[in-house]
Amino acid sequence: MEVRFLQLGLGLLLLLATQDAPAVAVPGPKCQRQCGGVDIQYPFGIGDNCSLSAYFKASCQEVQRGVYKPFYSDLELLNISLINGTIKGLNYISTECYNQSAGSMGGTTCAHKLGLSTWSFDARGTPFRFSDVHNKFTIIGCSTLAYIYDSTVKGYLTGCVSTCQNLTDLTNGTCSGMGCCQTEIPKGMGYYNVSFDSNFNTSQIWNFSRCSYAVLMEAEAFNFSTTYISTTEFNDTNSGRVPVVMDWAIRNETISLSCDEAKLNKTGTYACLSSKSGCVDSRDGAGYLCNCSEGYEGNPYLPGGCQDVDECSSSPCPSGGVCHNTEGGYRCPCRAGWKFNKQRNTCDPDTGLIMGVTIGFLVLVIFSSFGYMILQKRKLNQVKQEHFREHGGMILFERMRSEKGFAFSVFSEAELIQATNNYDKSRIIGKGGHGTVYKGVVKGNMTVAIKRCALIDERQKKEFGQEMLILSQINHKNIVKLVGCCLEVEVPMLVYEFIPNGTLFELIHDKNQALQISFSSLLRIAHEAAEGLNFLHSYASPPIIHGDVKTANILLDENYLAKVSDFGASILAPSDKEQYVTMVQGTCGYLDPEYMLTCQLTEKSDVFSFGVILLEVLTGQEPLKLDGPEMQRSLSSNFLSAMKENNLDAILPSHVKGQESNELIRGLAELAKQCLDMCGINRPSMKEIADELGRLRKLSLHPWAQLDVEMETQSMLGGASTTSFETEGATSGYPTQEGENLPMNPRSSYYAR
């Protein structure tokens, strides 16, 4: 086994061992104070007359082209700490490696030692000692026993053993004897040597653990990795060097004075030159260190090196104290309202003064808060009153006062907030362009639908109360009842009766239900919706134009009776023909093309939209398909094109063609075609549509039901004439035709399409 011992000193030690105690020197202004990013602080220095003595002299060496590093002899310096009295440098790693031999004996493959490299360190007679606090003797290997010893004066010897059988047994970050071992060193050690025990080697496990390592190093800088066993990664770091920490003090081989002895020394070698500094004994052997006095910081080894610390920058005063920086300290006089407590050295509140001020302040705050709340409440009431008057609330109240049986309620905002649990999201039953609808329960445990309108134009604001009077009197079995409103908000809220079973749109286009609904049921619902619109156009005074007729606004009650909804967003028919609607009404797919050109909303605009509803009933298709080919997106355009080409069957579903008579289908198609006429004057009225749908419904009845229908018709013709709207308290609804197949699962309806 080849053994190489590198006996390296920390800097001209043999030459310096015979010198006398160093005289205190002060570095010149040209001395280099930094090298390779490391501050070289006095008493250390680079160059002649730049350090306290030759023991503290360092050098700045070029390690590669243009790259300089600080060295103390062969030890590369990483940092110097004056406060802790330490230096950190790079220490060499001792290694022992094996490899497979070129031949074998007796069929057994042999391992061949590649080499041994050990490192010894001698700091005797210098200011330096290996730190027992920061360093540990560390070995790495799978069959390794290494020793660290001082065979000179102390006779110190200790070792550490590390074993392992498989790499899988090792754990990253753990150094407890498997693959890695660490042991502490004694205080005051200035020399050490390393050796490996020849009885422990890696010759049997060279195939996965070729090398063993031993080094004295900074414990905090080491974290074991299992790759250190199977590779040379550990030895490759910093050219086989790792950090080691050394304690230093003002001492040498000939003179090692304690702090008190150094102060009394008459030779002028006391190193603490700053007038604001003092000394402390070294914790690692003889000698001392210099520290700046309390309240000062800097370099205590230089005259004037300790400067006053601005303690006030770190807010050291107790609560209530005002910090004033002084030379070497600070003062904390208590501010106004506080008293200094000598016993606890704290600022305590002046309770008498504070109580008086606090009570006065609380009284002022309470009165101010009450005044502000009263003022804000008055302002809020004024705003609510203004909204109420602006929306015609006074007209409604006068009418309600004059007609005690007037079945209409004006709700307060607080009532509707309570009814909807402050407009909780779980109460939402519909959203649309005109607003959001919530399900609520108002006084009397009546379930209602509360619509928060999104917007309202100026004309509607002025006429809102009058329109509410008209709409509140609508009492028709096929129109959703408007039971009240709230006028004390910026945009009025409408309160409708609650309709539970969804919409005609869902009934037609829900894939799960569409096949379960008979065509006659859909035809009945369409007929009932036409009756409701006919009432708005013909019997309301003045007539009401719905403006947004679509299947989503035809609701279904518990008996699946059609109810036209959302007429609260409608307008009264203008008496002046020059009035125009400047804001687009309706929904894409249902919009009257004539209205798009003239911006004039008429009863015939509702007729066009109802024509699209008839197409949905007839074809089961949605009015607009945005994902289809551009020429086939509009249902009305496709229908008119098919009618023109006499190819109606192309757009009809198979179940309609197979179940209904050609006369019924052709009659319904002709009616839809008339409703979709581009010229509004050529379209039929809603009364004519309702009458025609009534006639067509008779065609959809079974033969055995025809007799009952004819008898009912004769009875109606022979009796007194009736209108198609309900009187107060009348029962609602056409009876469900026998044979109709309606879904039985009620769902919430959508009012805000």
Q: What are the catalytic residues?
A: 548
Other CB atoms within a 10 A radius of the CB of residue 281 amount to 16
Return the sign of the alpha-carbon dihedral for residues 479, 584, 602, 525.
Answer: negative
The sign one gets for the Cα dihedral 9, 12, 16, 21 is: negative
Torsion angle (degrees, nearest 10) of CA 22, 27, 30, 34? 90
3-state secondary structure at position 314: helix
Q: Which single residue is written with the structure tokens 């305590």?
A: 348
Binding-site residues from annotation for ATP: 451
- Count of beta carbons in the 10 Å neighbourhood of residue 284: 21
Residue 611: partners with Cβ closer than 8 Å, 6 or more residues away:
636, 671, 672, 673, 674, 675, 676, 683
Residue 58 near residue 10 (C-beta atoms within 8 A): no
Rounded to whole angstroms, the Cα distance separating 88 from 82 reads 12
- Token representation of residue 492: 């009025």
Q: What's the Cα-to-Cα distance from 226 to each of 149, 202, 560, rounded to whole Å?
A: 27, 16, 77
CB 428 within 8 Å of CB 436: yes
Q: Dihedrals φ, ψ of 574, to 5°?
A: -65, 135
In one-letter notation, the amino acid at residue 668 is L
CA angle 322, 324, 328 (to 5 degrees): 140
Tokens representing 720 are: 């007194």
Task: For residue 61, list its beta bridge partners.
Answer: 69
In the structure encoding, which two tokens stand for residue 751, read together?
Answer: 């009012």
**Partners of 185 in beta bridges:** none
C-alpha 547 chain-centroid distance: 43
Rounded alpha-carbon distances, angstroms, from residue 686 to 20, 70, 416, 609, 640: 124, 101, 36, 11, 20
What is the length of the chain?
753
Q: Using CA atoms in the order 595, 600, 603, 604, what is the torsion angle rounded to 10 degrees?
A: -30
Longest CA span, the chain: 145
| Feature table: binding site | 451
Output the CA angle 290-291-295, nearest 5 degrees: 155
CA 4 from centre of chain: 62
> How far is Cα 6 from Cα 4, in angstroms, rounded to an integer?
6
Residues 601, 580: Cα–Cα separation, whole Å? 7
